[in-house]
Amino acid sequence: MPRIPDIGKRRIVIIGGGFGGMKLAQSLKKLDVQVVLFDKHNHHTFQPLLYQVATSGLETGSIIYPLRKKFEGHKNFFFRYGEVIKISPEKNEIETSIGHLHYDYLVIATGAATNYYGMADIEKNAFPMKTIEDSIALRNRIIRNFENALLAESEELMNSFVDFVVVGGGPTGVEVAGALAELRSHVFPHDYKELNLKHMDIDLIEASPRLLNGMSDEAGEKAKQFLEDLGIRVHLNKSVKSYDGYTVTLNDNTRIISQTLIWAAGVAGAPIAGLKEEAVVRGNRYQVDEFNRVIGYDNIFAIGDVAAMITEDTPRGHPMVAQPAIQQGKHLAKNFQYILKSRPMKPFKYKDLGSMATIGRNRAVVDIGKFKMQGFLAWFVWMFVHLMALVGHRNRVLVFINWMWGYLSYDKSNRLIIGESGSHTLEIDKHRPEATI
């Protein structure tokens, strides 16, 4: 038992402290209920900027925020650091890594997990971009690759270290590709003077005919132009068939040699065991009604990426991005007010606030309704929106300072290998018992 006292109030248990879960918990502050938030991390992660941690642009602590600190002034709020393993709806109970807990209302806000589409070799060898740990691991790999490239005794091996393949032409894919290109242009030539950075290739693979699906055609075309201007090779209508950690094989049997494949090609919902199989639909998401209530249950709700509200307007559910989760969390809090007053709930209506992506310094694309922009102004809007969306004043200040320093100096100061010792260095040449340094 997670030792949460029974205070005689109805208990709302929220699973997941991402955008949706955190907004819901915040919006329940004045409601006369007990709120319990479970998460397997003790912090909220601002996922849109994970790629900047991975490419040395931001410090790790700039985009995460302690959940307990966020809710320290909330009465009748409890946070528990643990993983929810199973839901027992017949008992109104969840089974967690720290014990069992009863709920009156349950809200599943577990977000999404990386979708490898059943390709085990990709899952084993590629680098995802979903958690802060993923970003640190990728940053370690990028910098360690260049250290190893200095020791490589063949041109092919050296190229395998300094070449990068990014899979997925959505915002994450184009943003990480653009950031790698900036490292190639402004940072690594100073750090690794012995290497010819002309050998550093960046390939972006997208299975569809265009980039940034979900944004306008103008945004997709401009993003492609920006990437190619940065020297990135964009492959459209191509997908990855296999990857063994060294050779990337595409569906047309094209082969690319690289020891780093960054997977930004898709996500799927992260449901929890225990609910009926028919409640989970395409994309591994819970089908919910217009009130975000999981189909087949009266007191279990789902919001954000793990929820699929299927309507005529949204036949695949809402986009798996931050805004639907935030809006659903806020709206569900209002519906809990109606529930406690025995009043009918109101249906959720999503307000599309626009989409945006940045492709490096002074390059971005923004779609806000009919208003579309590209270039420097779009880049400035992108920075402002992301800065204001960060959790915590300290984080906003730190990110602003890092961005301004990087803009003025063309430098990325967080080029650190953390959590690894020299014994974890990659093998320089598997075919030689000794390598000459």
- Residues serving a catalytic function are 175
Contacts of 294 (CB under 8 A, 6+ apart): 108, 275, 279, 286, 287, 288, 300, 301, 302
| CA gap 299, 63 in Å, rounded | 33
Tell how strand 84-88 and strand 93-96 pair up.
antiparallel
Amino acid in the structure at residue 36: V
- DSSP codes, 17-72: -SHHHHHHHHHTTTSSSEEEEEESSSEEE-GGGHHHHHTTSS-GGGSEEEHHHHTT
| CA gap 391, 5 in Å, rounded | 29
Residue in the block written with tokens 């080029």: 415
Query: Which runs of E-coded beta strand occur in 246-330?
Result: 247-250, 255-257, 261-263, 267-269, 280-281, 285-288, 300-302, 307-309
